[in-house]
A and B are shown apart, each in its own frame.
Chain A
Amino acid sequence: MADRAQPIGAGPGIGAAAIVAALILGSLAAVALRAEPGTGLGPADWQAVRFTLMQAALSAAISVALAVPVARALARRRFAGRSALITLLGAPFILPVIVAVLGLLTVFGRAGWVSQALGAAGLEPLRIYGLHGVVLAHVFFNLPLATRLILQGWQEIPAERFRLAAHLGADAGAIWRLLEAPMLARSVPAALAVVFAICLTSFAVALTLGGGPRATTVELAIYQAFRFDFDLGRAALLACIQIALTVLAAGLALRAAPGGGFGAGLDRPLRRWDAQSGLLRAQDGAAITLAALFLLLPLAAIAVNGLAGVTSLPASVFRAAGTSIVIAAASTATLLVLAVPMAASIAMARRTGWIELAGLLGLAVSPLVIGTGLFIVVYPFADPFALALPVTALVNAISALPFALRILVPRARAVLGDFGRLGLSLNMGGLPFRRLVLLPRMRPQIGFAAGLGAALSMGDLGVIALFADPEVATLPLQIYRLMGAYRMEAAAGAALLLLALSMLAFWIFDRGGRWHAEV
């Protein structure tokens, strides 16, 4: 349907995209202009670059290597709780990093469950701080993501291929060579690149489990240049390096994007006839059980430890929780004001346009870099520390924008495709079409996007760490401070509260979107 008219104008989307592009590119420009290359990179900076690349590469390799058997098991087995487990694999996306870190400390820390078991057997306790801990936390977050990405590869093999393979008498090994290995050859590099890119910009994990000269990432170095030395020039220089690393990772991810290859099927329900031997069943069962334990144990630890601390939380935690709720609400509102018009405009365009690129910019630039840029821009005119909360809400909204667009654009495209002509022939005009058709029909997706945005903002420990003075804290930052003061019981209680608030925020919006939705 080439040259077809559309019922709504692209104006609001163009405006929103222009604001986003100006914000991100403006802070990039500020960083680039402020950077002081005079002194160059010191040995500590090079060490940070090396550590950043190494931990990201290790995290990606381990996450994906473990994800393949788990995805394979999920692809060829049907069992009670399977779909719940696959849903659970999506949960780490909205799980606040600081909560997961506390859970991992409880299980894998020096005084944790595993160390206690080792001690009982007369062995040394685990050491979690440093490279081990950073990689462990990254695997915790990215094993589920990698599993879902690779499982998707399995699901894209049409059921007809498996039927034909079974008809030809292919066993598990033959199916591996015939169908699964070629699929993995495409989907594994893509998964590796995505996890690598995510770990490159991870800040909160390095802040809590890394540190010290041997375990500092570039993002952490930016933060330290800010907070400890207040050396804006060096922070900006490090931010430039971070941008270069992110561009490198984005290039890898784009190059590794998987293409189709198995052709289309008729969407028959998938049945597998292979891999019925006891050994293979046991192997798949073990992969699924271990993965589920690895994901669930730290969450259980939060619940167990948090319940003890949640009754005696200091007042500062509740103040911080209030702040977090306000920020999450403001960030979600900002997100929707930007994302919904942009999604409509992208859906109307026939080719990839600059609006779509503006929406992806948030992925290419880490929140800490945007924060650094905004700080540099604001600093000559106003006290950046006084603006900590609005800036946090804004940066949270911008970093959630790419995900929101992924959710909204396909639906907007479908609504315009199904009802665009009818709206035009009824002469509805832009506003009535938005009010009566587009927004009501997109409501479930808008709710889902808002839920993700709210949960991400609620759990974010990034820009706020740069901007906050001691009087101000969001709940994640307050937990970090409690950990720093070795008040682990209060930290665990606050973490349980944060977990509940994040899940609640997601649930309210997602549920609100689907409530009485007629789709």
Chain B
Amino acid sequence: MLRFEKAVILNGDFTVRANLALERGARVAVIGPSGAGKTTLLEAIAGFRPLEAGRLVWDGRDITADPPGARPVAMLFQDGNLFPHLTLAQNAGLGLRPDLRLSAEQKERVKAALARVGLEGLEDRRPGALSGGQQSRAALARVLLQDRPLLLLDEPFAALGPALKAEMLDLVADLAAETGATLLMISHDPDDARRIADQAVLVAEGVAHPPRPTTDLLDNPPPVLRAYLGEG
């Protein structure tokens, strides 16, 4: 279970307050107006933003002060998820060993992970030689190898077309189900949220609210969310 205990996250001159808990294995959409602090919330979980007050607890362990790499987190950013000068196998292999000194057995696992996301035979390509969808798959292969219990998505598929985005989200949902990971994804699209997230966290006016069932929240949105969704 991931718990923010009376946390205050600082980002420049604005703060996001969070006092909430997420069940292990939950699939949670993070929704709310632009600039409300959705990315800030994810960055705090991943360790890129310090808490000004409060604690962050994972499975009873206080991880507030842990450095980013030591957290139980795999994250996909909006962009820059792959190193353009490394091959797909190297990029994915970073999920196993960040210094890339891989054993033969680990190299096999890298190959298997790339095959799992549908990139068989492309191990030696570099990201520049791939389509946007294939690049997303490669990043997901790395996430698979990282094998962390928390998976954070900061709209990594925003640049893909609708069909491709839906395909990627389904793949993410499958991978999360296979590994039992807890999924947190920022979403601007209510349909995406309904598609794979059973719960939703509303971030608005400097507060991240406790999760509610996604359909509840979207069917009966509070005023601030209604304005954002444009349902007047």
Please give the residue numbers on chain A whose beta carbons come within 8 Å of chain B beta carbons, in ascending order: 2-5, 418-419, 421-429, 431-433, 435-437, 440-441, 517-519
Partner of A426, one of B49, B95, B128: B95
For the complex, give the distance between the alpha carbons of A517 and B126 in Å. Answer: 12
Contact across chains for A5 and B98 when beta carbons are under 8 A apart:
no
In chain B, positions 67-102 with a C-beta closer than 8 Å to chain A are: 67-70, 73-75, 77, 80-81, 83-86, 90, 94-95, 98-100
Chain A proximity of B107: nearest CB distance (Å): 16
Could you tell me which B residues sit within 8 Å of A by CB distance?
A: 10, 12, 46-50, 67-70, 73-75, 77, 80-81, 83-86, 90, 94-95, 98-100, 126, 128, 146
Taking a contact as CB atoms under 8 Å apart, the answer to whether B10 and A426 are in contact is: no
> If the complex has contacts A432-B98, A432-B100, are A427 and B80 also in contact, measured as CB distance less than 8 A?
no
The 8 Å CB contact of A428, one of B49, B81, B94, is B94
Would A421 and B99 count as touching, CB distance under 8 A?
A: no
A424 with B69: CB separation less than 8 A:
yes
Q: Which residues of A contact B75 (CB under 8 A)?
A: 425
Given contacts A422-B81, A426-B69, A437-B83, A2 and B12 within 8 Å (CB-CB): yes
> Closest residue to A429 on the B side, CB-wise?
B98
Q: State whether A5 touches B47 (Cβ < 8 A).
A: yes
Looking at B49, B69, B75, B128, which has the most chain A CB atoms within 10 Å of its CB? B69
CA distance A433 to B85 in the complex (A): 13
**Complex-state Cα separation, A2 to B12, whole angstroms:** 7
Closest residue of B by beta carbon distance from A516: B85
The reply to whether A422 and B77 contact each other, CB–CB distance below 8 Å, is yes
- Check if A428 sits within 8 Å of B48, measured CB to CB: no
Enumerate chain A residues within 8 angstroms of B68, measured Cβ to Cβ.
5, 421, 424-425, 427
* In the bound complex, CA of A433 to CA of B98 (Å): 8
B50, A518: Cβ atoms closer than 8 Å: no
Q: Are B100 and A419 in contact (CB under 8 A)?
A: no
Q: Given contacts A419-B80, A429-B98, A436-B94, list 17 more A-B pairs with CB under 8 A.
A: A4-B48, A5-B67, A418-B80, A421-B48, A421-B77, A421-B80, A422-B77, A422-B80, A425-B74, A426-B94, A427-B67, A428-B99, A431-B99, A435-B99, A436-B90, A440-B86, A519-B85
Q: Do A518 and B128 touch across chains, with their CB atoms under 8 A apart?
A: yes
A4, A425, A519, most chain B CB atoms within 10 A = A425
Residues of A near B46 (CB, < 8 A) are 421, 425
Residues of B within 8 A of A517 (CB): 85
Q: Which residue of A lies closest to B152 (CB)?
A: A425
> In the complex, A432 Cα to B100 Cα: how many Å?
8
Using A2-B12, A422-B77, A427-B70 as known contacts, say yes or no to A432 and B84 having CB atoms under 8 A apart.
Answer: no
Residues in chain B near residue A428, CB distance under 8 A: 69, 94, 98-99
Contacts A5-B48, A440-B85 given; indicate if A427 touches B98 (C-beta within 8 A): yes
19 CB < 8 A contacts A-B: A3-B49, A4-B48, A4-B49, A5-B68, A419-B80, A421-B80, A422-B77, A422-B80, A423-B98, A425-B69, A427-B67, A427-B68, A428-B69, A429-B98, A432-B98, A436-B99, A440-B85, A518-B84, A518-B126
Q: Give the interface centre of B70, B80, B83, B126 by most chain A CB atoms within 10 Å.
A: B83
Q: Which residues of A contact B146 (CB under 8 A)?
A: 426
Q: How far is the CA of A437 from the CA of B99 in the complex (A)?
A: 10
A50 → B minimal CB distance (Å): 54
* Chain A residues in 8 Å Cβ range of B95: 426
If A5-B48, A419-B80, A518-B126 touch, does A426 touch B98 (CB 8 Å cutoff)? Answer: yes
Smallest CB gap from A443: residue in B: B85
**B232: min CB distance to chain A, Å:** 34
Among B85, B98, B126, max chain A CB count under 10 A is at B98
